[in-house]
Structure 1
């Protein structure tokens, strides 16, 4: 199934013709922003009633609603740093994004946390905070956790995966810590829907690509991840308890590059969906440019 959040945090289920069937009535006791998390937590109980509802309901036209991020309020948003070998090669070395630097992989860096407030949906925009700092696109598969996971072995890890979502890890280049540079408001677009795990049986071998203004920038397959989905769940659940609705950003392949106001970034992941985002310049700066360090640092 495809699960959506829309308008005033209504939750809905996609139908084959592209419409949405409202399912908020199954969650009468839940605060609006937490409805998708509650739906994920109660999925085993609600899946059949929702499937029955979809069969007989009249769908809402997608074009008539405002699509929000399908998971607007995860408790944890954790990301895998440098999880493709070719991305490591393009970041460091003599001709990399950071010339002369040694850029390590997930095997050294393990992970970092992004602010969940950086999440936006497909009817929003990526807002660049500075006119004179480089900001890059990074195309990723997002993994949505389905149940409390603590110290889970990779052999059982997929039992804790609820579904998948296209995800952009937008990145300000510079000296600041990763978690700061990647946590600006609007720097984690996701959507348009969460696709449940049963609908994506081949998640470890998904083709995906990213274009900017129609030009292909990134093209890869999740089979090339250094740490695949199961190992990422194992790694992160060994350090911190994961809960239903949490999101893991699995890492980006080679081809990252700068984006500018007026660009359109499109991420297409086979079986998962297409996320289309415009790029704008933030209208009111909240941080003085003179306080920002030079453009150096880790990816």
Structure 2
């Protein structure tokens, strides 16, 4: 199933170039009181909601995808876990390019581990990335992302994918500079998720998936997830040793070689096999 969030926080099932509005399913979410539980309630209850969503979608109101505003498929991730330099060729380009490493030694993912991004940096594909530092280089980074579906701690690699609710495209926008990654990558609008969530049962094995980012028809990044240093399974096992993972937590698996600056006016065309594509605009402040 392909599930989107659109317009004024409505929920839809994507079928071809149409969305079937299944927002009535939100009435099935359990009531909560303050202090509210961490994580995303919709993702936490997704396995129970999906059969009813299929029933609603059978004769639900249909809208054209082109006529709605797509939001981030996940509304309330508790944390965004990101994998740095998780492709060998990107590690090599980062070490070779002064504009990327800014005079610091670029460590491997084994040396530096994962990092966290602020959830306030998250937008959907209909909103623009705001490039507001003309004195700094701002780069695009396309990544396969996945969403945790149930609480997890000390997960083994062999069953790690059992904890994944679904997959989506991500953009990890980055200002280059000497500061820590979490600071430079957590500016408002610097985390783009979309265009929808493809549930794990439909997406299948994430270990050999092609993806590409283009600007004005020119390929900037093109790779396959088989080249990940820490694959999806290993990332879950590694992170769950340190953190309790909760429904709605998002993993950004890392970007391949080809990172490059963006300018206001650019349109980032992002495609991942098994998910689809999204176009994200860049504008000035």
The alignment's TM-score, normalised by the length of structure 1, stands at 0.88
**1:196-233 Cα distance to aligned partner (Å, 9 max, x none):** 11111131100001112221011100010000000101
Match of 1:285 in 2: none
Unaligned runs of at least 5 residues, structure 2: none
> Are the counterparts in 2 of residues 93 and 99 from structure 1 also a CA contact under 8 Å?
no
| Residues 1:228 and 2:231 are matched in the alignment | yes
Among 216, 241, 245, the residue aligned to 1:242 = 245
Q: Aligned partners of 2:142, 2:77: CA distance in 1, in Å?
A: 20
Report the secondary structure of 2:195's partner residue.
Answer: coil
| More displaced 10-residue stretch of structure 1: 118-127 or 37-46 | 37-46
Unaligned runs of at least 5 residues, structure 1: 283-299
Q: Aligned partners of 1:235, 1:94: CA distance in 2, in Å?
A: 28
Q: Aligned partners of 1:100, 1:4: CA distance in 2, in Å?
A: 41
> Are the counterparts in 1 of residues 102 and 177 from structure 2 also a CA contact under 8 Å?
no
> Are the counterparts in 2 of residues 135 and 171 from structure 1 also a CA contact under 8 Å?
yes
Match of 2:172 in 1: 169
Matches within 5 A, 1:1-299: 1-15=1-15, 17-28=16-27, 37-93=40-96, 97-98=100-101, 101-282=104-285
- Runs of 4+ in structure 1 off by over 6 angstroms are none
RMSD: 1.9
The alignment's TM-score, normalised by the length of structure 2, stands at 0.92
Q: Aligned partners of 1:126, 1:58: CA distance in 2, in Å?
A: 31
Q: Aligned partners of 1:214, 1:148: CA distance in 2, in Å?
A: 41
Residue 264 of structure 1, CA deviation: 1.0
- 1:256–1:94 Cα change, 3 Å: closer
Alignment coverage as a number of residue pairs: 278
Residue 39 of structure 1, CA deviation: 2.4
Q: Aligned partners of 1:238, 1:3: CA distance in 2, in Å?
A: 30
